[in-house]
Amino acid sequence: MVTVKPVAEAWPLRPAFMPRRNSAAASEDELEVTASASSHRQRDYDESPLDARMLGLDDEAESPFLRAQKRVPVRRGALPRSTASRLKIALVLLAAASCAGFFAMILHRYAVRSWRFRLESSDQIAISGASNVSRSQVLEVMAGDIDRNIFFVSLETRKQQLEQISWVQSASVMRLLPNRLQVVITERVPVAFVEMNSRIQLIDAHGVLMEPPANPQMKYSFPVIVGMTEAEPLSTRAARMKVYMQLMRELDTDGTHYSRDLSDVDLSDPNDVKATITDPQGAVLVHLGAANFLERFKLYVAHVQEWRTHFQPLRSVDLRYERQVVLNPDGLKTAGGEGNAAEEARPEASGSENNAAAAVKPDAAPTRMAPPRKRHR
């Protein structure tokens, strides 16, 4: 049998204590009353489940009135930590740069004003690599730097001035502390003599003309190149010298050194290189064309004695034609009986290795006298 108690008995009326609305925290007496009320409700919870549920509602209603925890304020700097670290690094670098600039300024003033860096005489200019360039030629360029601070010497300007000397291919000028200059010369290598306006000069593989060397002990033995003029630009002479160098390389292939037999080389026509070949029996002008120099020269060497037997004197040989050799083409004349006589002297074909025929063919080229023998200097 279930006994139902009246509501008034189940929940006896008790005085309720609430905090003041205008107060941020309850007083100490109010807290003690609240604590005792909570203990009474706990005892009633043991007796009735309904009381426990109502007690939970009371607790939830009282939770908003508990004292909240205060946040502890954190002191922060004016700049973020990463920005502050970057600023410190920048300040350190700026200080280091300032110190370096200060010391550099002191060193610069010392270097430009101290007597220790002054070039006092030409004895303090060292020259190396010059055998055909005289010391006086170099000092003529460097004379303006005497009694001057070496840091005020324009090395690039002096380099360009030295390379204007005909024998100088390249030059370099260096400072040697405290008060010296070093000049290094790379000289041009002559490969031939060249006849210019009845004057003999040296010429290198690039067509640059050179005066006779300053060293009188230097001796050269080259063919004399004809067919060039001083009015020609350097590019034209360089192209002609390229043909000449090809001729010399082919004639000296395999150690044959046929180039030693050349007295002069006519480069006036790049498509017809003419070389004067000298031997004890005389000089012969040989037309070698523009290619196959070695093959044509060997043909000449193999049959020159035979041709001299049939033609006296043998003045010129044209080897430009395939399977045909023209003898004395430069000695023919279109008028008079000499031309007819030469044309009648037509020998039979010679049985050579290359089956080359010896024939006389009129040629419009003018008669050319044999040039002088190879010159030695």
Helix residue ranges per DSSP H, the chain: 7-10, 28-47, 49-62, 81-113, 135-142, 155-162, 234-251, 293-310, 337-344
The reported pLDDT for the residue numbered 261 is: 92
* Second CATH level (architecture) for the domain 117-187: Roll (3.10)
For the chain, the straight-line distance linking the first and the last C-alpha, in angstroms and rounded, comes to: 154
One digit per residue, the tens of pLDDT, for the chain of length 377 reads 445 555 445 455 455 545 555 554 555 556 565 656 666 555 554 555 555 555 555 555 555 555 556 666 656 667 788 888 888 899 999 999 999 998 888 887 877 788 889 999 999 999 999 999 999 999 999 999 999 999 999 999 999 999 999 999 999 999 999 999 999 999 999 999 999 888 899 999 999 999 888 888 888 999 999 999 888 999 999 999 999 999 999 999 888 899 999 999 999 999 999 999 998 888 999 999 999 999 999 999 999 999 998 888 899 999 999 888 999 887 554 333 343 333 333 334 344 343 343 444 433 333 333 333 444 44
Q: Per the structure block, which two tokens stand in for 160? A: 């360009």
Residue whose token pair is 């043998």:
314
- The confidence score (pLDDT) of residue 287 equals 96
CB-based burial, 55-81: b 16+ in 10 Å, e otherwise:
beeeeeeeeeeeeeeeeeeeeeeeeee
Written out in words, the top-level CATH class of the domain with range 190-376 is alpha beta
Listed residue (198, 184, 192, 225) closest to 210, CA to CA: 192
Please tell me whether the overall predicted TM-score, pTM, comes out greater than 0.85 for this model.
no
Per-domain residue ranges of the chain: 24-53, 84-113, 117-187, 190-376
Question: DSSP for 292-350?
Answer: -HHHHHHHHHHHHHHHHHHSSS--EEE--STTEEEESGGG--SSSHHHHHHHH--PPPP
User: Quick one: pLDDT at residue 32?
Assistant: 61
pLDDT computed for residue 139 by the predictor: 94
- Residue 190: CA atoms inside 13 Å, Cβ hemisphere, count? 24
